[in-house]
Amino acid sequence: MTQGLEEDVKQESRPLKEEKTLSHVLPDVIRISFEDAVQDMKLEGWEDEWFSSGNFNVEKHGPLAEPKIDFVYNWVNGSEDSFKDIRHDFEVESPLNDREGKWISQHSINRYRDWDELRYSLRSLDVYAKGFINKIQLLVNSVGDGSYEKDGKNMHPQRPTWLKNDENTNQHVQVLSQESFFREQEKECLPTFNSLSIESQIFMTPSSTDQLVALSDDMFLGMPHAASDFYSPLFGPTMGFKTDHYNVKRLGGKDAIPSFGEKPFVYYTSYLLNHRFGERNRHVQAHFGHSVSRRVMEEAMASFPQPSAKGACERFRGESKYQIYPWYASFHYTIERFREALLWS
């Protein structure tokens, strides 16, 4: 039986993802009130004066302690046979699969390949950011000796072969399987091989600190850094943007949705942001570390219930052209919330 015919048979018997998550009954956009968003926040006393007048009284409040930050990587070793076997089982079922198997052969070449860059990225953190690292977290797929098992009995998280597995290392570097941080509802859609789906749940990783910086394994620090290069309590997270920008007022019509790279996801998310905050040009985030508050990112995802639920269940990138782009949504949600705070103050 060919891959294409296998796909036809399996898709008929496979439950729809929407039926698993009930995402189809959720609204696209909701408005979370400021009061609800901050009801359990504990203020330190300087916030009102800072937001209303831009003044920080050092004599009264003292210097603020340097914040601790988590550095989070979405990592996969696509060369591992058990990973390739599990991925292939789901590739055959994907709606992207074609009878000739072109999609499977083309998309697998470089997307999951491990170039052994992670170890050097981690070393750069230890050299140039050691003083303010809270935890380093590696988000990985689960693998086993056979097919994927949802109960996880015969599965284990992928782990770099060079990374020690002892108490000291594990306190500093946490290896987290998708099953350990995805919400219970979205776990029904695992495993996923789509970085956007994983990033839509990244705020759920367990931590004692709110702020995280998401890095790819091909990103390295090259000089000493302070926490304020990524985040400060007074000014929030640092953000970098490209010159590219979007202001999508409606889906469809004359302007067809783009089909290349990240553009279709930015396009759709621009449309969602316009519905929540009003129409404006919003620039696309640059390809480097993404600094974000877990609380704010959780609120951003919660503000787009159906897109977020569906996005977590996109097993492979491109299965739907309407997938929320978590970083684009979270960056601009942060900006809009800060703007609202200034207006209200």
pLDDT value, residue 13: 37
More confident residue, 253 or 11: 253
- How far does CA 125 lie from the centroid of its chain? 20
Domain interval for residue 261:
67-344
Task: Note whether residue 25 is domain-resident.
Answer: no
Written as six digits, the tokens of 260 are: 């290349």
More confident residue, 3 or 212: 212
Task: Note whether residue 18 is domain-resident.
Answer: no
Q: Which of 167, 183, 175, 178 shows the shortest CA–CA distance to 135?
A: 175
More confident residue, 148 or 173: 173
Task: Note whether residue 169 is domain-resident.
Answer: yes
pLDDT digits (tens, 9 = 90+) for 106-164: 877 667 888 899 999 999 999 999 999 999 999 999 999 878 887 777 899 999 999 99
Task: Note whether residue 323 is domain-resident.
Answer: yes
Confirm if 73 and 199 have CB atoms less than 8 A apart. Answer: no
pLDDT value, residue 258: 73
Burial of residue 50 (number of CB atoms within 10 Å: 0-12, 13-18, 19+): middle
330 vs 142: CA distance, rounded Å:
27
Task: Note whether residue 54 is domain-resident.
Answer: no
Q: Which amino acid is at 176?
A: L
Q: What is the dihedral of CA 184, 190, 194, 196, to 10 degrees?
A: -10
pLDDT digits (tens, 9 = 90+) for 331-343: 999 999 989 888 8
Coil vs helix vs strand at 345: coil
Coil vs helix vs strand at 309: helix
Reported as a pLDDT band with limits 50, 70 and 90, residue 21 is low
Task: Note whether residue 328 is domain-resident.
Answer: yes
- pLDDT surpassing 80 at residue 270: yes
User: Region 325-334: what's the mean pLDDT?
Assistant: 98
Task: Note whether residue 55 is domain-resident.
Answer: no
More confident residue, 3 or 259: 259
Task: Note whether residue 302 is domain-resident.
Answer: yes
- pLDDT surpassing 50 at residue 19: no
286 vs 243: CA distance, rounded Å:
9
Distances (CA, A) of 43 to 36, 50, 245, 282: 15, 12, 35, 30
pLDDT value, residue 113: 81
**Count of domains observed in the chain:** 1
User: Region 253-269: what's the mean pLDDT?
Assistant: 81
- pLDDT surpassing 80 at residue 58: yes
Reported as a pLDDT band with limits 50, 70 and 90, residue 23 is low
- pLDDT surpassing 60 at residue 8: no
